[in-house]
Amino acid sequence: MDLNVSSLAPGVAGAGIFDVFKPPSQSPKPAFELPLLQDVQKAQQVLKENGVVRTRVVHLKTDTYLMKDVDECGGPKKIDIYLKLENEQKCGTFKTRGAVNYVAGLDPEVLKQGIVTPSVGSFGQALAMIKNDNPFIPFCAALLPQDLHIYRSQLLENMGAQVHRLPFPSWWFALESRTVPPTFPIDSPLHKAHFIHPATTACSAGDATIALEILEDLPDVDAIVVPFCTGGFSSGVSHLLKQVNSSAKLYAAEVSSSTPLRTAMNAGTPSRCNHTPSFVDQIGGENVLPDMWNSIKASGIKDSLVVSPEQVVNAIQMMLNGLNVVSEGAGAVTLAAALSGQAGAGKICCVITGGNIDPDFLTKAMHGEVPMPRFH
């Protein structure tokens, strides 16, 4: 898409401070601020002008009840599940929303040295699409952790992105410090490129347009379930629900192989959790980003809902068999959480954040197997 460049979007982060494996300790303003309602409404217009898809909400027919709660007749309450299909978005990921809103707010001059992002795939894909549609951007570089499934690298390379797989400490440095790590020589073009972090106010505002659409389609929704990524998406949606005085609760879903939000909530502060690479490869890390924690707390996220890889496989099967919907693991984690009853009864909308699943993973999941990631 040829971007319709407007005035500077809120919360656009700069390149950060270069310091060997030590994130900057001070900044003139917070790296992330929760988007205001007007930021999200402005983003909605930006996305419309740039051809970003307004995705469907569909009903998933299930006979799932919450046995511990009863209705007015004394019977168990039904869990009525709806799916927000961001797998139908351009690039097959919701990250398109935040990436487009961020870049549309920039002066094109800052992009003429290229763009670089720390990613686990989806945000990099969205930026690669933008680069391909705007020839004045010379390159898009994606910094990936080495323990990410190789399929994510292949998707990015097929889109023409430069892929750099880094040891986890180097990749985490880029994510936490919001700058290119010293893994790269000081004369590397990456240091001159515009660094785009996936958790900025502008990205969060773009992502939170999903909530506006859900409220338009399901004004009486009781809960919305999203995956927990870096925290920008979940906190942005939760904060928006508060601003429009919605009674809907926002839950963030995680997979048991990596639970940074649940661990931080239990400890009251970002704390390292056990992290095992899994086929649910678009969410989960070793920790909550420290500069996101205050915003996550302030946003009003109701809870972290943790599910097993086996439950995610079941959710993938249910969507494909029932609606012919293909979801990656990070998208299916929301449905798995709703089916578990952790989000309560009533009308639950699960955001299916992407559909970029390795065909081999999908085949194994449809046979009831939990796929194992490959790194080479």
- Please give the radius of gyration of the chain, using alpha carbons only, rounded to the nearest integer: 20
Instruction: Please report, in tens digits, the pLDDT of each residue of the chain (376 residues total).
Output: 555 544 333 333 333 222 333 344 444 456 789 999 999 999 999 999 999 999 999 999 887 665 455 455 555 678 899 999 999 998 999 999 999 999 999 999 999 999 999 999 899 999 999 999 999 999 999 999 988 889 999 999 999 999 999 998 999 999 999 999 998 999 999 999 999 999 999 999 999 999 999 999 999 999 999 999 999 999 999 999 999 999 999 999 999 999 999 999 999 999 998 888 888 877 878 899 999 999 999 999 999 999 999 999 999 999 999 999 999 999 999 999 999 999 999 999 999 999 999 999 999 999 999 988 776 5
Enumerate the domain spans of the chain: 48-93+201-366, 95-195
CATH topology of 48-93+201-366 equal to that of 95-195? yes
- Domain 95-195 CATH assignment equals 3.40.50.1100: yes
Pick the CATH number of 48-93+201-366 from 3.20.20.150, 1.10.10.60, 3.40.50.1100, 3.90.226.30: 3.40.50.1100
